[in-house]
A and B are shown apart, each in its own frame.
Chain A
């Protein structure tokens, strides 16, 4: 692409006083209603004044500057960037669903979908009940830890305020624990990526509220000692929290409830393919075992005879309460429902199978090409880690350089520098919806980049070269804060 195609002024720079997209304005209303002078705005807000075509063209051009699943292979580890079926969006945007006010009489068609979604999620996770109200993974985590706290309090055991997390945990885990007023104890993993059992035994005690675990872990391997972990934590009086970030890897193969977990959140925007939307909306449904049933967040959907209805404070008086103004990201949940119905039971098992097949294939090919896997003796789950520490030593190339160079080859970069335990790492998650040819092309690109490291490393350190912008000055961004356009005085 040429420079000319890729630069787009701010919408404010396209604005001219007096220009309007007036088709979108309602006709004026006649009457005497007005706002008292002292409560009225003095000058109009500095919003752009553009024509409809200018707005359409501007935002279409901006969209073209993005990588996305629809346009590029997007192997972003821990994010499950699989195909978002168009049907999920089309059916969720039927006008009756879109036009429905949340406080009107209970819409039976919509609630039937939500009720069935709760039941399907309950079945595939092996839990006793599911609430769809949390609006993202982090809010699901919050709900989970808040329920654990409420459970201990209900047993007059409210002194339990320590949450154990493995070092490899996602940053939201410790942040969530803190938001729930808990302190965090981090425990290490052993050299094969499993939780260090001796450290766990030393960490649990009368203050243990619970442990937060992802399985497969963020290291891309299945936690083999999970049954022992569950026993140790339960014997100490704590509960087990399952972070569903990596549920895609085990869908239909093993159920968190059967592993001993008491509470789970699912990222419907990962495993159940609702769109990531450039950073949300997500949906973080939570499921619980018997002990936490009374504490689920509301509203949920219940059924009286043939009639569906909202379950509220009256039905669940011990609920941790409401986390959103209405019922969470309802339209996202609807997309997840449609996706699950399209897949059905065989399709869901295939998700885990082919996500795992793709990850293991890619890992083996990259190892054969000379890249170093972080856990070579282990099977990859749906994702795996390559460490570039050797390349870093030999060529002073960083994981960031490789990530940026991959953009030039037309691939979105894998996750870099996460998990924090592995130096110079790339966390690669191909997902089940990618074809073998695309995995091969990605592999070939990394092999070509490897050759560049040896022959022309500056191509990496100055990458990307073909994007709308070159590498950005993050220090300047944080020091000379420019967070909003302002009209000239």
Chain B
């Protein structure tokens, strides 16, 4: 069973989102996603300052057997990107919810309207997908 922290929210394309009260959010990909991709060999993160729309492809995660786009779950401006992943993509495999975060956004709209799942719903979604 993959690890699904209960304090995060999730998308159907396997991104997670960690929200702070002031509209700042942190985004990465789930443990399930990193495990399905296998050993990552390259991660591309968005440039700081870039304005993203919800659903926009903004990062790429690449393993030997697959390359996937990462979609921003919400709209906002990129305030930080995880530079360590450039030389150590394995951080994303080792610690997808911590050292393997991808980028941070400042949102200006409430994120409650975004199509995000709770940890419990995401776990159920993964179970449905598997069956």
Residues of A at the B interface (CB closer than 8 Å) are 474-475, 478-479
B91–chain A nearest beta-carbon distance, Å: 12
Q: Which residues of B93-108 have CB atoms within 8 Å of chain A's CB atoms?
A: none
Q: Which residues of B21-69 have CB atoms within 8 Å of chain A's CB atoms?
A: 39, 41-42, 62, 64
Residues of B at the A interface (CB closer than 8 Å) are 39, 41-42, 62, 64, 89
* Neighbouring B residues of A479 by C-beta, 8 Å: 41-42, 89
A-B contacts besides A478-B41, A478-B64, 8 pairs, CB < 8 Å: A474-B64, A475-B39, A475-B41, A475-B64, A478-B42, A479-B41, A479-B42, A479-B89
Q: How far is the CA of A479 from the CA of B87 in the complex (A)?
A: 9
11 contacts between A and B (CB under 8 A): A474-B64, A475-B39, A475-B41, A475-B64, A478-B41, A478-B42, A478-B62, A478-B64, A479-B41, A479-B42, A479-B89
* Neighbouring A residues of B89 by C-beta, 8 Å: 479
* Prevailing SS type, chain A contact patch: helix
User: In this complex, what residue of A is CB-closest to B88?
Assistant: A479
User: In this complex, what residue of B is CB-closest to A478?
Assistant: B41
Q: How far is the CA of A203 from the CA of B44 in the complex (A)?
A: 34
Q: How far is the CA of A283 from the CA of B62 in the complex (A)?
A: 31
User: In this complex, what residue of A is CB-closest to B90?
Assistant: A479
Q: How far is the CA of A475 from the CA of B64 in the complex (A)?
A: 6
- Name the residue in B41, B42, B62 with the highest tally of chain A Cβ atoms < 10 Å from its Cβ: B41
Q: How far is the CA of A475 from the CA of B42 in the complex (A)?
A: 10
User: In this complex, what residue of B is CB-closest to A479?
Assistant: B41
* Neighbouring A residues of B41 by C-beta, 8 Å: 475, 478-479
Q: How far is the CA of A478 from the CA of B64 in the complex (A)?
A: 7
B127–chain A nearest beta-carbon distance, Å: 20
User: In this complex, what residue of A is CB-closest to B87?
Assistant: A479
B43–chain A nearest beta-carbon distance, Å: 11
* Neighbouring A residues of B42 by C-beta, 8 Å: 478-479
User: In this complex, what residue of A is CB-closest to B62?
Assistant: A478
* Neighbouring B residues of A475 by C-beta, 8 Å: 39, 41, 64
Q: How far is the CA of A474 from the CA of B63 in the complex (A)?
A: 10
Q: How far is the CA of A479 from the CA of B62 in the complex (A)?
A: 10
B77–chain A nearest beta-carbon distance, Å: 29
* Neighbouring A residues of B39 by C-beta, 8 Å: 475
Q: How far is the CA of A92 from the CA of B62 in the complex (A)?
A: 43
Q: How far is the CA of A340 from the CA of B83 in the complex (A)?
A: 58
Q: How far is the CA of A475 from the CA of B41 in the complex (A)?
A: 6
Q: How far is the CA of A465 from the CA of B42 in the complex (A)?
A: 30
Q: How far is the CA of A478 from the CA of B63 in the complex (A)?
A: 8
* Neighbouring A residues of B62 by C-beta, 8 Å: 478
Q: How far is the CA of A478 from the CA of B39 in the complex (A)?
A: 10
User: In this complex, what residue of A is CB-closest to B89?
Assistant: A479
Q: How far is the CA of A479 from the CA of B92 in the complex (A)?
A: 14
Q: How far is the CA of A236 from the CA of B86 in the complex (A)?
A: 48
* Neighbouring B residues of A474 by C-beta, 8 Å: 64
User: In this complex, what residue of B is CB-closest to A476?
Assistant: B41
Q: How far is the CA of A462 from the CA of B41 in the complex (A)?
A: 23
A400–chain B nearest beta-carbon distance, Å: 11
Q: How far is the CA of A479 from the CA of B89 in the complex (A)?
A: 9
B35–chain A nearest beta-carbon distance, Å: 15
A208–chain B nearest beta-carbon distance, Å: 25
* Neighbouring B residues of A478 by C-beta, 8 Å: 41-42, 62, 64
Q: How far is the CA of A479 from the CA of B93 in the complex (A)?
A: 14
Q: How far is the CA of A475 from the CA of B89 in the complex (A)?
A: 11
Q: How far is the CA of A474 from the CA of B64 in the complex (A)?
A: 7
Q: How far is the CA of A394 from the CA of B39 in the complex (A)?
A: 25
A204–chain B nearest beta-carbon distance, Å: 26
Q: How far is the CA of A475 from the CA of B40 in the complex (A)?
A: 8
The 3 closest A-B pairs by CB, nearest first: A478-B41, A475-B39, A474-B64
B30–chain A nearest beta-carbon distance, Å: 21
B44–chain A nearest beta-carbon distance, Å: 14
B41–chain A nearest beta-carbon distance, Å: 4
A477–chain B nearest beta-carbon distance, Å: 8
Q: How far is the CA of A414 from the CA of B89 in the complex (A)?
A: 32
Q: How far is the CA of A475 from the CA of B93 in the complex (A)?
A: 13
- Name the residue in B42, B64, B89 with the highest tally of chain A Cβ atoms < 10 Å from its Cβ: B64
B83–chain A nearest beta-carbon distance, Å: 17
Q: How far is the CA of A474 from the CA of B42 in the complex (A)?
A: 13
Q: How far is the CA of A213 from the CA of B46 in the complex (A)?
A: 37
A474–chain B nearest beta-carbon distance, Å: 5
Q: How far is the CA of A479 from the CA of B39 in the complex (A)?
A: 10
Q: How far is the CA of A276 from the CA of B62 in the complex (A)?
A: 29
A383–chain B nearest beta-carbon distance, Å: 23
* Neighbouring A residues of B64 by C-beta, 8 Å: 474-475, 478
Q: How far is the CA of A474 from the CA of B41 in the complex (A)?
A: 10
Q: How far is the CA of A474 from the CA of B40 in the complex (A)?
A: 11
User: In this complex, what residue of A is CB-closest to B42?
Assistant: A478
A155–chain B nearest beta-carbon distance, Å: 33
Q: How far is the CA of A478 from the CA of B62 in the complex (A)?
A: 10
Q: How far is the CA of A474 from the CA of B39 in the complex (A)?
A: 10
